[in-house]
Structure 1
């Protein structure tokens, strides 16, 4: 046994001992990721809701591990309830859901974000976000006024804006500053109804296990008629095709595999260190343009000259419109707004609001505040990305 082999053997034993000590002293950590998985017992999983869902829907609940598109192409159903909780809905599936709703089914979508084309078809334009650390969810119906839920852990703070007149408001979110945002709506389509709730956290383990919170969930689902409910969930039975799945599925084999890899890395490292000369590190030239832009931005922010910043933003936006969209920006009138709407496809209300803010920025005597700058920046970036 030569000296080199003894060194590697000692290193290997030390690594094994360290891994064993780490495993023995390992502490369970709480997974706070918003996974919304029906099999997860972590705070933001849906294990509790999955267990209680059958009684909540009067034992008429059926979980479907297919997309609505695949399921409805294979099954013809009488009017029923459709439930989707924080799952992606593709365009084809959405068309199938709309078809079922028009025939008399009711759909309950508990999702934090919705694709724009789907949101438009329901009757609201977009969602806004409150950054408060605590929100209260309440329903507008007087018979539910005493039932509410307080979200004190990572609330999304989402709410609906630009709601169309034919949409009925069923619930609101109230933040710490008493600011209200609509977060639960109803839209009648054909013979059925679509319900959208944009805060799925109230269905997670963390909140359902708190005393009294289950009542809010019961109130939300009470809007669905007592009939068969199809809950479309993401498939949990797919088997991994990774060739190492058996090794990684067993803790003992998994740790042995990582130890083997660690030993190989150490072997390569020490061998390479002896045989290869050190390659000098050549530090590339630093691009100071970003630092310069940040410095200028911080200077404007410290000065608080929001009017000047709005004027520059308006100037850059109009220059972008002239160069890229070939629209004359000399007169910001209705003709300009219509041309911009045709070339960008953005809502005319959004464009008109942006034009008003541009005019305000160009007026040297106008009084502006920080909120005007923030709103203008958001609207102009949404119309034409600068």
Structure 2
């Protein structure tokens, strides 16, 4: 180990120690992103709800990590059941399967502020941002449950139902207080009868997140879920790629280790670059490959000439000539008739007698039973070269 490398190593270790000390004193930043992930313990993850879900649904819950289309297309007709969806993108084909299940007696409860416009139009409602207040209450309309309301004070979406048909039932509302101390309400939880089943749409999925479940002092969520019958429930969970348990994932998931890893890679790259400049070998000069195509053709021609196979040489020459006529002059060479001779005469300007003689020799070369002499080959070669000039 030379002296320069020791100096680099010492500097690198000192930098790591300093960065580690800064990271140890650094306060963790709380992640307020609305991820709705069952594995996240951040404020707007679904970890708490996921842990408590079996109890909320009386041990009759099935978690499906596939789309409704994949789930129902592989199963026989299920008896009526509950379907739970939380802020999940649903494709059009899956919606058709869900609507079919509801029509046959199942109930769907959807918590989302991203209800597709196509679904709203088909069922008869519209959604949108109904207010820009920083906070509001969620309250159920049932008099027995009116006290079980929830205060939304962190990053509300203010979504609700701007229009619903008269035959739809409003189960919950958002209560807003304006700057003038006036209270206004907007529907955020509705029930729609569809066939033998029902759709329940709730426009505020934050009610299921860790922050609001842990800070709630009443049973608002339990009251909302109580509208579903006590029976089997299928929860279509948002699917994520399986997490790797490798040591690299552990390093990258911890910011101090992550910075140390990147710094290590950067140091190695700098070290390799400086050492490569000092120890790079001389690149040998290599001669470019020679084009031996002409030599190859000459060798093949001499081989045919030595064998005395004039017939095969005439056939090859004729094949090459006709290919050039097709590519350069755009003349069809399938039938070597009078029409072909006239077109070749017009495009080349050569005497028609020479072209006729050349065509006869071409046909002779193409005929495997024709008797060919050396003079025929020489004459055809001269004529074809003259025509192509």
Q: Match for residue 320 of structure 1?
A: none
Would the alpha carbon gap of residues 268 and 159 (structure 1) be closer, same or farther in structure 2, given more than 3 Å must change?
farther
Q: Match for residue 80 of structure 1?
A: 81
**TM-score after normalising by structure 2:** 0.63
Q: Give the CA deviation at 1:121.
A: 2.2
Q: Match for residue 154 of structure 1?
A: 155
Q: Match for residue 168 of structure 1?
A: 169
For 2:243 and 2:127, locate their aligned partners in 1 and report how far apart those are by CA, in whole Å: 37
Q: Give the CA deviation at 1:10.
A: 4.5
Q: Match for residue 215 of structure 2?
A: 210
For 1:267 and 1:197, locate their aligned partners in 2 and report how far apart those are by CA, in whole Å: 58
Q: Give the CA deviation at 1:188.
A: 0.8
Q: Match for residue 359 of structure 1?
A: none
Q: Give the CA deviation at 1:29.
A: 2.8
Would the alpha carbon gap of residues 129 and 18 (structure 1) be closer, same or farther in structure 2, given more than 3 Å must change?
farther
Which protein shows a greater Rg? 2
Q: Does 1:134 align with 2:138?
A: no
For 1:239 and 1:208, locate their aligned partners in 2 and report how far apart those are by CA, in whole Å: 26
Q: Does 1:90 align with 2:80?
A: no
What is the aligned length? 270
Q: Give the CA deviation at 1:254.
A: 4.8
Q: Match for residue 201 of structure 1?
A: 206
Cα displacement string for residues 96-136 of structure 1 (whole angstroms, at most 9, x for unaligned residues): 11010000000000011111112222321231242211110
Q: Give the CA deviation at 1:152.
A: 1.1
Moved more, 254-263 or 50-59: 254-263
Q: Match for residue 187 of structure 1?
A: 192
Note the residue ranges of structure 2 that are not aligned, 5 or more in a row: 276-389
Shift >3 Å, 4+ stretches: 1-11, 250-256, 264-271
Would the alpha carbon gap of residues 262 and 26 (structure 1) be closer, same or farther in structure 2, given more than 3 Å must change?
farther
Q: Match for residue 15 of structure 2?
A: 15
Give yes or no for contact 1:123–1:166 (8 Å, CA) kept in 2.
Answer: no
For 1:146 and 1:176, locate their aligned partners in 2 and report how far apart those are by CA, in whole Å: 18
Give yes or no for contact 2:127–2:159 (8 Å, CA) kept in 1.
Answer: no
Give yes or no for contact 2:150–2:216 (8 Å, CA) kept in 1.
Answer: no
For 2:273 and 2:130, locate their aligned partners in 1 and report how far apart those are by CA, in whole Å: 50
For 2:131 and 2:272, locate their aligned partners in 1 and report how far apart those are by CA, in whole Å: 52
Cα displacement string for residues 257-294 of structure 1 (whole angstroms, at most 9, x for unaligned residues): 322223146558999xxxxxxxxxxxxxxxxxxxxxxx
Q: Give the CA deviation at 1:249.
A: 2.7
**TM-score after normalising by structure 1:** 0.63
For 2:40 and 2:16, locate their aligned partners in 1 and report how far apart those are by CA, in whole Å: 31
Q: Give the CA deviation at 1:157.
A: 0.9
Note the residue ranges of structure 1 that are not aligned, 5 or more in a row: 272-386
Q: Match for residue 52 of structure 2?
A: 52
